[in-house]
Amino acid sequence: MGLSSLILPAEYHSLLNILETEIAIKTVKDNFERNLANNLQLTRVSAPLFVNAVSGINDDLNGIERPVEFDILETKEDVQIVQSLAKWKRLALKRYGFEHGKGLYTDMNAIRRDEELDNLHSVYVDQWDWEKIITEEERNLITLKDTVKRIVKALKESENHLIAAFPQMKPFICEDVFFITSQELEDMYPELTPKQREDAICKLHKTVFVMQIGGLLKSGQKHDGRAPDYDDWNLNGDILIWYPILDRAIEISSMGIRVSPESLDKQLNESNCNARRSLEFHKQLLNGELPFTMGGGIGQSRICMVLLQKAHIGEVQASTWSNEMIEACANHGITLL
């Protein structure tokens, strides 16, 4: 594993020692979770660590990541560590009898074995996965944008709470969200890569929601990959913030209004994934048996890293890193847990 993508900020030093960091992590997680639940009308539920490999419930993310698989001795089943809970949550909303306008959130823990490790990415993933029921009429940009603003509000509220407890921290989260589609972003910066475009727009507007991710742009390229069977590619996006510690944009949430039977049919065709139509989740969805929903994932360690103003995600979570990365970080004042 190389270190080419590792950012080592000059003259970096943590504003919190290790013990203060652990206390602050707990403070941020408790406060943000409460703010998120209040702002989106969510109830916490328990969630699986692994699912049946042939159920179709596991998230394919960008469609190329390999899930961690193992067999169960007693049941003789092959199971997979979840990569996210996008499909499981939609089934749970129906099973648990949630009403319109209400939803669930859960602590999702996962292993992403193919992740490229750097300041923001770890093999260990912990995030708040959330999902709520909407009507078919609410499947629109107004609903999407309103929800994005509520999530950013929760983030700002948590920053304020943290600074009250640790006044050495300085606020930087901008609550005013700038909305732009991935095509508008490509039109604005055609010579840049998608990630460079995100950096450029976030440096200008600080907090940005890039919409409509998954389909092909006019250039024939995608802004980013999305599996075809959870988000509606016309009604989704990423929440990005400008992070001065690393001098770059950071994604804090991937979210969206979920596929309808019609948009699932269209996206399965476009992505050449029609074999999934035989899976139980997909059959229920195509038959109109599941509620209309929206949802997303919000990285817990990512939120802690940002609000604690750390340079590396390994400063707020215990994972595994190469010896070269550990040494390089240590030489630049970055202490990995």
Catalytic residue set: 59, 112, 127, 238, 251, 254
Give the Cα separation of 242 and 135 in Å (integer). Answer: 33
Query: In sequence order, what are the residues at sequence separation of 6 or more whose Cβ sits closer than 8 angstroms to the Cβ of residue 149?
Result: 177
First to last CA, the chain: 19
Encoded tokens for 273? 């994934």
CA distance 98 to 100: 7
| DSSP state letter for 7 | -
User: Rounded to whole angstroms, how far apart are CA atoms 105 and 293?
Assistant: 13
Alpha-carbon distances of 235 from 145, 267, 298, rounded to whole Å:
10, 13, 17
Strand partners, 236: 256
Task: Give the helix/strand (H/E) hosting 145.
Answer: helix 141-165
